[in-house]
Amino acid sequence: MDNSLDYHKVKRYLQAKADAYSKVDTFLGFNEQELHIELNKKCGPEGVLMVLFKYEGQLNGNNQRTLAGRVIHFAILKDVKKDDFDMESQVIGECENIGFSIVSRIYYDSRREDSEWLYKNFDQNTVEFNEIRLKSSRGLVGMEFSFTLKTPQPLTLNIDDWSDLDE
């Protein structure tokens, strides 16, 4: 079982969940600045968007074992006409429900032994969420979610990679 984790694996996993979920139309793995550029184009993505916003972490451990707490931020977003406040409220609620479905799927997968790096590493107590309104010509609103995965992160050194170290 491969328990190692990195940004690319998380992005691939979330892309696969977005592709498999009937209520998400498009997955974007851009950072926030790239997302704004993409969404301000005339022909941006349509429908419900799932966006990987941020990936950050912190090491924690001792001489025996090191864990990396990786905080994953994603958002569920949808277009709303400017100044349609009733619709905005409704869409934020829809995005919240879709986001919780995705969090539920992550929780489900984390209890499956064949989930490799996700197995037993998701804690629903780390989930946070808040409404979001992106400044773009498209009027995107929705809900942002974050959660922490704690996975082993061995601090082993490959001496062959370093020209200034001897064996």
Give the 3-state DSSP-derived string for 44-55, with helices as H, strands as E and coil as C.
Answer: CCCCCEEEEEEE
Tell me which DSSP letter residue 118 carries. G
Look up the pTM and report it.
Answer: 0.86
Question: Residue 128 is which amino acid?
Answer: E
pLDDT tens for the chain, residues 1 to 167: 556 789 999 999 999 999 999 999 989 886 667 776 766 665 566 789 999 989 999 999 888 888 899 999 999 999 888 788 899 999 999 999 999 999 999 999 999 999 989 999 999 999 999 999 877 666 789 999 999 999 888 888 889 999 999 86
Q: Do β-strands 66-79 and 128-133 pair in parallel, antiparallel, or remain unpaired?
A: unpaired
Is the distance from CB of 156 to CB of 55 less than 8 angstroms?
no
Q: Which helix (H) or strand (E) holds 38?
A: helix 32-39
How far, in whole angstroms, is CA 67 from its chain's centroid?
A: 19
Token pair belonging to 89 = 């409220």
Question: Domains plus CATH for the chain?
Answer: 7-151 (3.30.70.1700)
Cα three-residue angle 116-117-119, rounded to 5 degrees: 70
